[in-house]
């Protein structure tokens, strides 16, 4: 149903955790492809990606070029997906015909949460990303496509 792009940089532990949370969604058919976007890691990040069967890309444009699905889910490696995220996302795609949305942790309370928002990903149609360029600006993409909808 969708391709997942995970931007990383020396994120072996975070990537391993996130890939583990994607497995049930892949078994259920929601996640059809995982692409790890990384060109400069010096730790075991790329080896973990290869061992998991993920495709590798060094630029955002090259990651988009190899996506095989019409919907793209961009997830930062440090995102902690909540239980049930895959069912809620599948329901969103089915019920709404798939509109863009922000996916991620709920922002906490207090000053620290306002200064450092929780990591979040973005579900967006691949067609909306045409011309996005080689570099990934996830904050700008969230602002443009995701609005405030959270899952």
In a 3-state reduction of DSSP, which class is residue 18? helix
Do 133 and 70 touch, CB atoms closer than 8 A? Answer: no
112-131 burial code (b ≥16 CB/10 A, e <16): eeeeeeeebbbbbbeeebee
Look at residue 148 in the predicted model and tell me its pLDDT.
44
Would you say residue 151 lies in a domain?
A: no
Look at residue 32 in the predicted model and tell me its pLDDT.
97
Residue 22: give its domain's CATH number. 3.90.550.10
Look at residue 149 in the predicted model and tell me its pLDDT.
47
pTM score, whole prediction: 0.83
> How many folded domains does the chain comprise?
1
- Helices first, then strands: H and E counts in the chain: 6, 6
- Residue with structure tokens 């906490």? 108
Would you say residue 97 lies in a domain?
A: yes
Would you say residue 124 lies in a domain?
A: yes
Look at residue 22 in the predicted model and tell me its pLDDT.
95
Look at residue 73 in the predicted model and tell me its pLDDT.
93
Domain that holds residue 23: 2-146
Backbone angles phi, psi at 61, to 5 degrees: -60, -40
pLDDT in tens, the chain (151 residues): 899 999 999 999 999 999 999 999 999 999 999 999 998 889 999 999 999 999 999 998 999 999 999 999 999 999 888 888 899 888 888 886 666 767 765 445 555 555 555 567 888 888 888 777 666 666 667 666 655 445 5
């Amino acid at each position: 149903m969708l391709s997942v792009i995970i931007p990383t940089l020396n994120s072996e532990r975070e990537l391993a955790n996130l890939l583990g949370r994607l497995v049930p969604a892949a078994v259920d058919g929601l996640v059809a492809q995982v692409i790890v976007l990384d060109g400069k890691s010096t730790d075991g990040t790329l080896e973990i990606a290869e061992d998991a069967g993920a495709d590798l890309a060094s630029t955002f444009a090259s990651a988009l070029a190899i996506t095989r699905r019409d919907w793209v889910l961009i997830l930062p490696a440090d995102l902690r997906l909540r239980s049930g995220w895959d069912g809620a996302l599948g329901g969103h795609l089915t019920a709404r015909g798939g509109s863009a949305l922000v996916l991620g942790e709920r922002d906490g309370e207090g000053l620290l949460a306002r200064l450092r928002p929780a990591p979040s990903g973005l579900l967006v149609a691949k067609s909306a990303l045409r011309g996005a360029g080689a570099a990934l600006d996830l904050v700008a993409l969230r602002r443009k496509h995701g609005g405030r909808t959270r899952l």
